[in-house]
Amino acid sequence: RQFTRTGNTDHLGNHKPIDPPETRFSYGTAGFREHSDRMSFIAHRVGYLASLRARTSGKAIGVMITASHNPEYDNGVKIIDPNGEMLAEEWEDHATQLINAKDDEFATGVRALETELNDPPVGSPSSIVLVGRDTRASGVHLTEAVQEGVGIFRTQFKDCGLLTTPQLHFLVHAYNNLPGGPPTEQDYYNHFSSYFKDLYDRLSPTKKYTTKLHIDCANGIGAPKMRNLAAKLPADALSIQFHNEQGQLNHKCGADFVKISREAPAGFEAVVANERCAVFDGDADRLVYFYKKDNGQIELLDGDKIALLIAKFYKDHLAELKMDDISFAIVQTAYANGNSSKYMKEELSVTPKFVPTGVKHLHHEASKYDCAIYFEANGHGTVTFSDKFFDTLDKRPEEAAIRLRLMSRVINKVVGDAMSDLLAVELILRHYDWTVQDWAAMYEDAPSKQIKVPVMDRSRFRTTKDETSLVVPADLQDDINFLLEKRDGARAFVRPSGTENIVRVYAEAYSQKDADELATEIEEAVKTLGL
């Protein structure tokens, strides 16, 4: 078993050298993500890099082994920084350099990096790499590859086993920031369930909100972990029916499937119209909701709708408490539905900030405010808070301040977390005594269509910084502009994915027919290029 570019061994023991040898890898939207048979040498080098990050910070660092919403045969690795957030950008550059080194350049690359970082101490008791993995079959083998990489400079290593991605973020944050011994998975359940219970106990009885909830677990790690969490919630708070706990990961189910296809997941055939359904993705860091309508179609409540529900709760409370000196923001990406941004401006008086795709960009922007809600339309998101936010709230005795404080603990502030976001959504619906239909009625989505177009080399597509226009291929952008000129008020863009070998086509128009046609015409234009 080897973990080099030329001696790359997959989890079945097959020798799969990287071919062609000059293949370049980049730390994409969410770390390195590839077919799992190419991941071993990457995981090994990321293990080393994480240990270096742990040594330079003298803290715990996380390595999560997951390809999240991608198919089962893919896998990936991403590094979690000491505060539980995404890896700092300069370290992404170190990672890209190191992973792309040829085998005979690796040792020199390591030496150069050690020198650049002033030879950080070896063997510090506080430096440790915590590794978690989702349910993919290749995860165990990749954990071993990370362990060997961490071992190069004898840094401590802890295999935390099967976890959701946000659970590992939580553990890393807790390890470095909270008193007490090393945190455990149980601490995660205790934390979120106890704040949920405290807030739940303060809410009035409901007339319209019902406790019945279906959850699509995407056949992933969210299934056992949500069961663990649910077992600790007050018995009468939620009556959950679990679906898709054991089958093929993300196959015809999960948040990405439901968001893009706008169909109910497999396994929901018997669910009746109008019942509230929540959907996780493979590693439970995304959440969307839907319900079946009487006509058999689904009404999707995606990340934008979740953002607005949470934003309404925060805005209402901040207004009631007259906390005018708290800076507040909502952060979105180009995929946000136009009507969600319009609602924010017109109904909540908040002009959304736009950043490129990727939680790291949203989180970074959100952190500039005392309280900021960020969500990608695909269901990734959370709320961030400053110390000032909590300090101000701590001094306020009013019921609204207590509710806001508790809600802000129910939310996993370091990263988007399907399980904690679900608890927040359920409490907010209960607070307003809303049905899922009331929530959906906040605004009507502008008709939109997203298509994934497989390509041979997605690096042949490059966009402007705001991702709404292609720099190359320029001809394709000309074609898109031409198609847009024919449709008043429409918008569309093409962007290469950072997680799959596809480009994403997004189109929005006045009617669904127009949005569908526009997206299909752009899809054809992409395919014609044959890139």
Binding site for ligand G16 (CB under 6 A): 29-30, 68-69, 281, 285-286, 357-359, 376, 378, 380, 497-500, 504
Reduced to 3 states (helix: H, G, I; strand: E, B; else coil), residue 433 is: coil
CB of 143 vs ligand G16, minimal distance in Å = 18
Question: Of the two residues 55 and 491, which places its CB atom closer to ligand G16 in the complex?
Answer: 491
Tell me the closest approach of the beta carbon of residue 498 to ligand G16, in angstroms: 3
List CB contacts of 197: < 8 A, sequence separation 6 or more.
233, 234, 237
Residue 204 catalytic? Answer: no
- Minimum CB separation of residue 236 from ligand G16 in Å reads 32
SS3 331: strand
Helical ranges in 322-455 per DSSP H: 338-348, 359-366, 387-394, 399-410, 418-432, 436-440
Beta-sheet strand order (sheet of 60-65): 32-35, 74-80, 60-65, 128-133, 156-162
- DSSP letters along 72-100, please? TTEEEEEEE-TTSSBPPHHHHHHHHHHHH
For residue 252, the minimal CB distance to ligand G16 (Å) is: 17
Closer residue to ligand G16, CB minimum distance, 51 or 384: 384
Provide the β-strand partners of residue 158: 130
Are β-strands 371-375 and 328-332 bridged in parallel, bridged antiparallel, or unpaired? Answer: parallel
Nearer to ligand G16, 370 or 467 (CB): 467
The Cα 176–Cα 179 span in angstroms is 9
DSSP characters over 362-386: HHHHHTTSSEEEEE-TTS-EEEEE-
In the three-class reduction of DSSP (H, G, I as helix; E, B as strand; rest coil), residue 249 is classed as coil
Bridge partners, 494 (sequence order): 505
Question: Quick one: which of 397, 392, 393, 383 has its CA closest to 425?
Answer: 383
Q: Is 235 helix (H, G, I), strand (E, B) or coil?
A: coil
Please choose, from the candidates 415, 100, 397, 201, the residue with its C-alpha nearest in 3D space to the C-alpha of residue 287: 415
**Closest distance to ligand G16 from the beta carbon of 160 (Å):** 18
Q: How far is CA 372 from CA 20, 289, 307, 382, in A?
A: 44, 22, 10, 8
Sign of the CA dihedral with 17 first, then 96, 363, and 391 last: positive
Minimum CB distance to ligand G16 smaller for 26 or for 190: 26
In the complex, minimum distance from the CB of residue 278 to ligand G16, in angstroms, rounded to a whole number: 16
Residues 6 or more apart whose CB falls under 8 angstroms from that of 181 comprise none
Name residues whose C-beta falls within 8 Å of residue 437's C-beta, 6 or more positions apart in sequence: 274, 291, 299
Distance between CA atoms of residues 52 and 375, nearest Å: 31
Q: How far is the CB of 275 from ligand G16 (least distance, A)?
A: 25
Least Cβ distance, residue 497 to ligand G16 (angstroms): 3
User: Taking a C-beta distance cutoff of 8 angstroms, is the pair 531, 466 a contact?
Assistant: no
Minimum distance from residue 141 beta carbon to ligand G16 (Å): 20
Q: How far is the CB of 202 from ligand G16 (least distance, A)?
A: 33
Instruction: Determine which helix (DSSP H) or strand (DSSP E) holds 42, and give its type and residue range.
Output: helix 40-57
Q: Catalytic one among 51, 68, 138, 497?
A: 68
Nearer to ligand G16, 9 or 164 (CB): 164
For ligand G16, give the closer residue by CB, 155 or 450.
450
Distance, CA of 28 to CA of 67 (rounded, Å): 12
Cβ atoms 246, 368 nearer than 8 A: no
Active site residues: 68
